[in-house]
Amino acid sequence: MFFINLFFRVLKLNLLHIFEFIMDNNNFNENALIFNSPDINPETKNILSKKISVLENNINSALLSPSSITNKKLNEIESLLNECDKIYLSMEVELSSYSMKTKEKFNLPYFKSKMNQLKGNFKEVENLSNLKDENDENENSNLMSDETRQNLINTNNDIEYGNKKMKESIKLISNVNDTDKETMRSLKNQTNILVNTGNLLNEAESYVKKTAKLLNSMIRRATTNKIILIGIIIMLGLIDVMIFYYKLKYKITGK
């Protein structure tokens, strides 16, 4: 009996040691994950908290005073909301592989609920802004005076008169186009006549060139004939001189 009690006590002590070892090992692994993660920046939580605070103040101010909502202010709130959402999403991605305890250390659940709340509040601000724009348009339309209506009527009359003049101008342009077509046909006929005349002149010029060549050839032949005739005359003269010389010599010598 003593040995059985001793065995159970030793077993109980061993189980307690094993359980403590497992718990210490889990805490060590979780702390190692946080310490060794290079993507987790502790300042991100503070930056997001400050931006959410500013965003919440701007949205509450817009909700309390809808008349102060302008497009510029609405764009600023939307830009800040997108910036906060971007930071939150980056934290959610960085902490997605960590335990809930680690996420709570970085206030991730709080940021998630806060972002959803702010997005809903921003929708209300957008609705108030749209309602304000519609009311402004209705007020502006109701403030239209009789003078403005009369100006619109006069403007419509001017537009109708302008349309009438435009139709007359279009009709006149159509007539001018018809006249232009006739003129173009006449010019085309004259162009054809000029082309034919040019062809005739080219043919005449060709005939003139041929005639000039023929005249030049005839002149060269007449000149050649004159030269030949002069040569024959000179030869005949020389022959007559030679004959006269021999006759004279014969008479003198008596031979």
| CB atoms near residue 30 (< 10 Å) | 14
Together in a domain, 49 and 132:
yes
| CB atoms near residue 55 (< 10 Å) | 23
Together in a domain, 49 and 98:
yes
User: Would you say 117 and 85 are in contact if contact means Cβ atoms under 8 Å apart?
Assistant: no
Question: At which of 96, 112, 136 does a domain end?
Answer: 136
- Structurally, the chain folds into a number of domains equal to 3
- pLDDT of res. 236: 92
Helices (H), 41-145: 42-64, 71-94, 100-105, 108-142
Dihedrals phi, psi of 89, to nearest 5 degrees: -65, -40
Between 199 and 98, residue with greater pLDDT: 199
Residue 3: pLDDT band with limits 50, 70, 90 = very low
Any domain includes 159:
no
- pLDDT of res. 155: 84
Helix and strand numbers, DSSP H then E, in the chain: 6, 0
Together in a domain, 27 and 92:
no
* pLDDT tens-digit readout, 240-250: 888 888 888 87
> Can you give the residue range of the structural domain that contains 124?
45-136
Any domain includes 254:
yes
User: Would you say 77 and 58 are in contact if contact means Cβ atoms under 8 Å apart?
Assistant: yes
- Give the DSSP H or E segment for 216: helix 146-253
Any domain includes 220:
yes
